[in-house]
Amino acid sequence: MDTNLAVLIDGDNIPSAYIKEMMEEIAKYGNPTIKRIYGDWTKPHLVKWKNVLLENAINPIQQYGYTQGKNATDSAMIIDAMDILYSDKVDGFCLVSSDSDFTRLATRLREAGKNVIGIGEKKTPEPFIVACDRFIYIEILKNTEKDSEQGTEKGGKATKKKNVDKITPKVVRLISQTISDVADEDGWAFLGDVGSLLQKKQPNFDSRNYGFQKLTPMIHSIDKFEIESRTNQSSKFKLIYVRNKD
């Protein structure tokens, strides 16, 4: 059974250039049954959005600014989110914004037992990020698309992404501690469990932030860990286990 998602987009806060990659990313987590974008559509800076709304079946919600310098879009989006919550038609929410004003909304939706995915730019304040179950930086989605195109042009060879975060000692410690948290008596931990716990500890943790499409090659690139592939008796896929080196 598909997970039904309500996708609510702050049109004043997210560039329209990311829409294609963003909707493809959201589809990984569920079926976006409700798709709305909020903004004052009389403003010229939202013109670019108008061209992509029909292509992606996103419903534009008009919201005039009542006061100079104040953003009325936030209030409209929050009210709609609560109406959708009480209608009980969705299993989770995807809040697309880089605005910390949605921190309390994300917290409230999670308190109601809904899964909350946040999508925003790297400038997004930390409180909003940690209020979500998962937070995805929209820049990495665009980078992924560019890398794919460049790889095709160069005969399918992978192209290293630019402007990615460095794997700092802090990141290595986070991974190491997480492995220890879920490891068996021999120190081995199923990589799927490691990835899930990393996400809970740090909602914006994503191997793509560091230039890797998956967690496995990221772990491979760090010499402090060892990886073991094990045969899975119940399926054709192998299970990946990881542990800290002595």
Q: Residue 139: phi, psi to the nearest 5?
A: -65, -35
Whether residue 27 is found in the same domain as residue 139: yes
pLDDT number for residue 104: 95
In a domain, 156, yes or no: no
Whether residue 194 is found in the same domain as residue 91: no
Domain closes at, from 100, 128, 144: 144
The pLDDT tens digits along the chain (246 residues) read 589 999 999 988 888 888 989 999 999 999 999 999 998 888 887 888 887 888 889 999 987 765 554 456 788 899 999 999 999 999 999 999 999 999 999 999 999 999 999 999 999 999 999 999 999 999 998 755 444 444 334 444 443 444 578 899 999 999 999 999 999 999 999 999 999 999 999 999 999 999 999 999 999 999 999 999 988 777 677 899 999 987
Whether residue 217 is found in the same domain as residue 95: no
Contact 134, 118 (CB under 8 A): yes
Domain closes at, from 129, 144, 159: 144
Distances (CA, A) of 215 to 22, 148, 209, 220: 20, 18, 11, 9
Q: Helix, strand or coil for residue 37?
A: strand
pLDDT number for residue 199: 94
Sign of the C-alpha dihedral computed for residues 6, 127, 138 and 28 taken in this order: negative
Whether residue 188 is found in the same domain as residue 72: no
Residue 57, CB-side half-sphere exposure with 13 Å CA sphere: 6
Whether residue 209 is found in the same domain as residue 108: no
What domain range includes position 225? 169-244
Give the position of tokens 């410690």. 173
Q: What is d(CA 62, CA 181) in angstroms, rounded to the nearest whole number? A: 48
* Vertex 98 angle, CA 63 and 19, to 5°: 75
In a domain, 159, yes or no: no
In a domain, 150, yes or no: no
Give the position of tokens 């992509």. 52
In a domain, 228, yes or no: yes
pLDDT number for residue 154: 41
pTM here? Answer: 0.84
Q: Residue 222 maps to which CATH number?
A: 3.30.420.610
Whether residue 50 is found in the same domain as residue 99: yes
CA 89 to chain centre: 22
pLDDT number for residue 151: 39
Whether residue 140 is found in the same domain as residue 75: yes
Contact 110, 131 (CB under 8 A): yes
Contact 197, 142 (CB under 8 A): no
Q: Residue 101: phi, psi to the nearest 5?
A: -65, -15
In a domain, 56, yes or no: yes
N-to-C CA span, the chain? 43
In a domain, 162, yes or no: no
The domain total for the chain is: 2
pLDDT number for residue 109: 97
pLDDT number for residue 41: 83
pLDDT number for residue 208: 93
Whether residue 180 is found in the same domain as residue 125: no
Domain closes at, from 76, 109, 144: 144
In a domain, 72, yes or no: yes
Both tokens assigned to 77: 């989006």
pLDDT number for residue 172: 95
Whether residue 205 is found in the same domain as residue 138: no
Whether residue 125 is found in the same domain as residue 78: yes
Radius of gyration of the chain from its Cα atoms, rounded to whole angstroms: 20
